Amino acid sequence: MSADVQHTLASSATLEGTSLHTGAKVTLTLKPAPAGHGFKFRRIDLADQPFIDADADKVQTVERATTIAEGSVKVHTVEHVLSALTGMGVDNAIIEMDANEPPIGDGSSRPFVELIKKAGLAPQDAHRKIWEIREPIHQECGDGTLITIVPCKTFRVSVTNVGPEGRFTQYFSSEVTPELYEKEISPARTFVYYEDVKPLLEKGLIKGGSLENAVVVRGNEIMSKEALRFHNEFARHKALDLIGDLILSGKRILGHVIAVKPGHGPNSKLAATLKREYARMRSLAAPFVLPRGETVLDINDILKILPHRYPFLLVDRIIDMVGDTKCTGIKNVTINEPFFPGHFPGHPIMPGVLQLEAMAQVSSVLMLRKPENAGKIGYFMSADSVKWRRPVLPGDTLHIEAEVIKIRGSIGQTRCRCFVGGEVASEAELKFALVQQ
**Three-state DSSP state, 193:** strand
DSSP state of 195: H
- Residue 86 has φ and ψ, to the nearest 5°, of -65, -50
**Listed residue (36, 33, 52) closest to 93, CA to CA:** 33
Secondary structure of 294-320 in the HEC alphabet? HCCECHHHHHHHCCCCCCCCCCCEEEE
Which residues are part of the catalytic machinery?
264, 343
Half-sphere exposure for 299 (CA within 13 Å, toward CB): 10
**Listed residue (423, 367, 361, 364) closest to 353, CA to CA:** 361
> In 10 A of CB 336, how many CB atoms?
8
Query: Distance (Å, rounded) from C-alpha 18 to C-alpha 407?
Result: 35
Query: Distance (Å, rounded) from C-alpha 116 to C-alpha 126?
Result: 20
Query: Distance (Å, rounded) from C-alpha 112 to C-alpha 125?
Result: 25
Amino acid 148 reads T
**Three-state DSSP state, 388:** strand
Q: Which residues pair with 395 in a beta bridge?
A: none
User: Which residues are CB-contacts of 179 (< 8 A; sequence separation ≥ 6)?
Assistant: none
